[in-house]
Amino acid sequence: IYSAIDHILDNPFILQEEYIGNDAGDHINFEKIDHAVLPSQEINLDILVAKDDHKRLRALIVDYLKNVDVHSFIDQETILEKVNQKMNVYPEWKNIQFNKGYIDFEKDFFEEKLHFRVAENITYVYLKDIYEQERVIEKQVRNLVGRLPNDLSRPFNDEKWANEIFKSDCELNKKAPDEYKSAVDGQVLVCQQIFRKPISILSGAAGTGKTTVINAIIKAIKFTSNNTEKCLLLAPTGKASDRMKEATKEDAKTIHQFLASKGWLNPNFTFKNEGGKKENDITTYIVDETSMIDLTLMTTLFKAINWDYAKRIIFVGDPNQLPPIGRGKVFADTIEFIKTIDDESYGHLKDNMRQMENKIDNKGTGIIDLASIYVQEDGHSFESKSDTEDVLK
């Protein structure tokens, strides 16, 4: 709770709006404060806040938005509908049906905790801190997209990329060399495409070679910088960071470990808005399983990076995986934005070598192929109608 005591005495609902407890279940809900400031008539205590007070409505809106922790914003009409549904279960002496006029009349007061955005004549409402988190990410992504490609101390040509990616002892190369070469060519093309970009996306399903590309990029960074630049491999979970460490033979951390080392975690493992240190010794950040990262975690990561020193950040993941448990779809939204502004910063691996090998071995991939029809939301559709028909045979 960061408000001054006199503000809390004037508006006790601030306790509910600002309190951050020791864990997800430790919170002060609307009802606790409402029972105190608008007590039962049978108790014969003073009413501190009238049932139609704007303080009560703001607290109800904040409570609703906190509990809808998947979306960053909700339209105002829906919020008022949900608030009034909640009011309907209260006795008549506590029940009031709110409308937008209550908000418009005290707009400055509501904007202390909420942000209102109008698009196509619809008003959308954010928690103010969530809106500000989105702006932190948006501002830095725009800055990175606008930078010039990174200069290299030494060139890394097509032959070097191919040498890093092509594995003569690969089983697929032995069984289907033409298919393997085609997949390798696709990986080389993605490496060339994103390597010098200050911000890029490495996208692809499991089995398409994301780890192979990461390994090649790490080696290229060492070669082109004469081993003067440092990479940091990050992932949202311990399992994912261990997998990166094993696959690359490089040190990898969870994002939480990195943030804790820079002082961005509170004792209860929530994130600080400010006060942590910035990492000043890393030039390249490679973030795996990015689709699992929610808005608050990504925002704090962005705050912990010294962007004046960092040269590139590469987000790795499968956009067709489930979105994060927490708020926002940062990975999907970043992909959409980058593809619109600079399509060259988006590297998508299409050839699934794992499926190729299974087909050659007659192990079958029908379920996976069929599923791929329904995961085309990132814009990577089948090349033709016959491709789909082949899957459905």
d(CA 151, CA 142): 20
Domain membership flag for residue 243: yes
Tens of pLDDT, residue by residue, the chain (393 residues): 778 898 998 999 999 998 877 765 678 889 999 998 888 877 878 888 889 999 999 999 999 999 887 789 999 999 999 999 999 999 989 999 999 999 999 999 999 999 999 999 999 999 999 999 999 999 999 999 999 999 999 999 999 999 999 988 887 888 888 888 989 999 999 999 999 999 999 999 988 899 999 999 999 999 999 999 999 999 999 999 999 999 998 989 999 999 999 999 988 888 988 999 999 999 999 999 999 999 999 999 999 999 999 999 999 999 888 778 788 899 999 999 999 999 999 999 998 877 777 767 666 555 555 455 455 444 444 334 444 344 334
CB atoms within 10 A of CB 16: 21
Looking at the structure, do residues 38 and 105 belong to the same domain, yes or no? yes
Residues 262 and 361 in one domain: yes
How far apart are the C-alpha atoms of 220 and 232, rounded to whole Å? Answer: 14
286 is a domain residue: yes
Domain contains 391: no
CA distances from 251 to 45, 233, 350 (A): 62, 7, 28
Residue 303, pLDDT score: 98
Check whether residue 175 and residue 48 sit in a common domain. Answer: no
pLDDT for the residue 384: 40
Q: Is residue 66 part of a domain?
A: yes
pLDDT for residue 47? 83
Residues 161 and 90 in one domain: no
Q: 194 and 322: one domain?
A: yes
Phi, psi of 235 (to 5 degrees): -150, 155
Q: Of the candidates 80, 102, 133, which is a domain's last residue?
A: 133
For CA atoms 236, 239, 244, 249, the dihedral sign is: positive
Query: Percent helix, strand, coil in the chain (nearest 5)?
Result: 50, 10, 40
Residues 202 and 312 in one domain: yes
**291 domain residue, yes or no:** yes
User: How confident is the model at residue 386, as a pLDDT?
Assistant: 43
For residues 205 and 339, state if they share a domain.
yes
* 41 in a structural domain: yes
111 with 179, same domain: the answer is no
Out of 76, 100, 133, pick the residue that ends a domain.
133
Query: What type of residue is 290?
Result: T
CATH number of the domain enclosing 239 = 3.40.50.300
Q: For residue 306, what are the domain limits? A: 156-374
- Both tokens of 232, joined, read 């940091």
DSSP-derived letter for residue 343 is G
CATH number at residue 52: 1.10.10
Which residue is it, tokens 């080392």? 261
User: d(Cα 333, Cα 336) in Å, to the nearest integer?
Assistant: 5
With respect to residue 200, please indicate whether it lies within any of the assigned structural domains.
Answer: yes
Residues 162, 112: one domain? no
Same domain, 119 and 160: no
Could you tell me where the DSSP H helices lie in the chain? Answer: 5-10, 13-18, 30-37, 54-67, 76-87, 100-105, 107-110, 128-145, 158-165, 171-175, 177-194, 210-224, 238-248, 255-261, 295-303, 330-341, 353-360, 366-373, 385-392
Distances (CA, A) of 319 to 92, 147, 231, 263, 348: 49, 25, 24, 30, 10
In a domain, residue 138? The reply is: no
Cβ-in-10-Å burial (0-12, 13-18, 19+) of 277 comes to exposed
Instruction: Say how many residues make up the chain.
Output: 393
pTM: 0.87
Nearest to 196 by CA among 167, 163, 170, 161: 161
Task: Count how many domains the chain has.
Answer: 2
Same structural domain, 14 and 87: yes
On whether both 116 and 210 belong to a single domain, the answer is no
